[in-house]
Every structure is written in structure tokens, then in C-alpha cells.
Amino acid sequence: MKATPAPKRRTAAKARSRRAAAKRNGVPATRLTRQRVPMRTVRDPLDVRRAVARWRAAGLRVGFVPTMGAIHAGHLSLVARARRGCDRVVASIFVNPLQFGPAEDFRRYPRPLAKDQALLQEAGVHLLWAPGVEGIYPQGHCTRVRVLGLTEVLEGAARPGHFEGVTTVVARLLQVVQPHELWLGQKDAQQARVIEQMVRDLGLDVNVRRGPTIREPDGLALSSRNQYLDRVDRKQALALSRGLTEARRRLGAGERVPQRLIAAIRRVWRAYPRVREDYVAVVDANTLQPVRKVNGRILVALAARVGPARLIDNFEWEPR
């Protein structure tokens, strides 16, 4: 009988050792890194803590993608990035009441949970946390998290109290999940910057990562609120990305005066009569304060209402 070569024996022994460690820590005894395993859906934060604790005890790296559901390719791109850098991926679906104003769309925000579960399962999420409000804000919860300075401008000025809701819920999610990596999307650039600051200021042990904005072939940034657009408004919504494209073109051609960039965006928008501006701004990408001249990394950010939807978009740019 032909002997098995030594390298294979060593590989088999290592695999047995990994399976034994997995069994001791409650980890599925399949391949321990980046494999496709059945997704569990849980509501109780204790179930999340226990699962993540087992993974961390087994030496596995955990990535986290928080969402409000209505999953689209932008969310799935964050899952894919988390999978590349981590061994296990946790996603959450929670429509957070604290970040919606009284006249905003909390009640009608899309909640297609079964569809979302199927998409996240296919993308390779290992654990989906879909809590109710009581799972995030138990009775008597009265603590709020605020980040000063970064939250009073742009979205913060247009939606008072919004970022207090965002930082409060993200702090709570991180306290439960305790991941190694937190993945956020560039489309919500101000939100990502605020959370980066919160994590740094509170000394939270997590690496905040950003994934790029994912767009439709015609340039429209993917958003759960795109579902509100009818056929006419969908075409009008292209004003946002086309305005940004013009600003980027002008920056590449040497324009460095913010007001001229803003004026160029508004000229593009004249061809889209159903677009109602909330703001167009050129700000420092770190402080989010307006700049007088483009001589460092900037964020060109805008928000507008198109039909029943309020949409945002942006890009970051730095002179070479």
C-alpha cells in the first residue's frame, strides 16, 4: 500500500487540530476561515454576544456590517469586503427610530426582511442580528451619545438630532457585537466620519473601514430610498451624480475655488426641475467645515429632494 506523503500527513494533522479547537469553542467544524456556512438569524443580543465570543476564543476575526435593511448591492459590497478581511461576518438590520425626525419616513421605511435575509445569506453573512426596538433600547433606556462639531453641519443642519440617533445606536451595536472591523459606506460620508470620531474618542477597540459608493450603470448612487422614486423621478435623480461628475471634472482641470464648483453643480441641476436642493457644499474631509480654497483633501457633498425621496451623494478628492 502506497504511503501518504509527509506534507499531506502534516496538513491532515493540522486540520484535525483546527476541528478539535472549533469543537471546543462551539465553532462549526468546517473550514474555519471565510467559508460559506448557513446564516443564523437572531433577535436577542445575548445570542450575538455568545456567538462572537466563541469565534473570538477560536482566534477568528469578526467583521460587522450594520444596516437598516432594504438590502442592495451597496450593502452586499460591504459584506464582501468584510469577508475578505475577516473569518466571520455579522450583519444587523434595525430601523433606528432615534435617527428619524418627526416628519421623516420612519413608518414607511422599507422592511422586506425575508428578501433581506436571502440576500445576506447568499452574500455569506454568518450571523444576522435583527432585533426589535426593545433589544436595542430596553425599557428605561435614556442614554444618548453625541459627537460635537462634526454633527451640526450638512446632514446635521438639515436633520436636527439625526446624528445623535446614529451615534447612540452604533455605540449600542458595537457594545453588543464587539467586532474587529466595522464596515461603513462612503455614500454616507459624514456618518462614517462621525462614527470614526466617536470610536476614537471613546477608545473603542474596533477598526472602522469604508467601502466605496456603489452606483447604478447610469451613475445613481444606490440607496434604500431609491425605492420611493417612480420612473420620472428616477431620471430626475441622476442630477445628483451628474452634478458631482461636473465638479470632479472641473477639479481635474484645475479649479480650486469652492463657490465655482458649487455653482457648476447648480447649473447642471437647472435641467432637472423636480430636484429641490437641500445643500451643496465643499468642505474639509476631516473637519467637515467649509474651505476657502481647495488645497487639501475635500468632500463635495450634496442633498436634494426628488419627488418623495430625499437623496444624498458625495465624493472625496485631493490634489496630487
Show which residues are catalytic.
75
Q: How far is CA 286 from the centre of its chain?
A: 18
Task: Give the closest residue to 311 by CA, choosing from 287, 264, 275.
Answer: 275
In whole angstroms, what is the distance from residue 69 CA to residue 113 CA?
7
In whole angstroms, what is the distance from residue 311 CA to residue 306 CA?
7
Nearest-10 crossing angle of helices 162-177, 45-57: 50
Phi/psi at 77 (5° precision): -65, -35
- For 298, other C-beta atoms within 10 Å of its C-beta total 25
Q: Any idea what the Cα angle at residue 280 is, between residues 290 and 189, rounded to 5°? A: 75
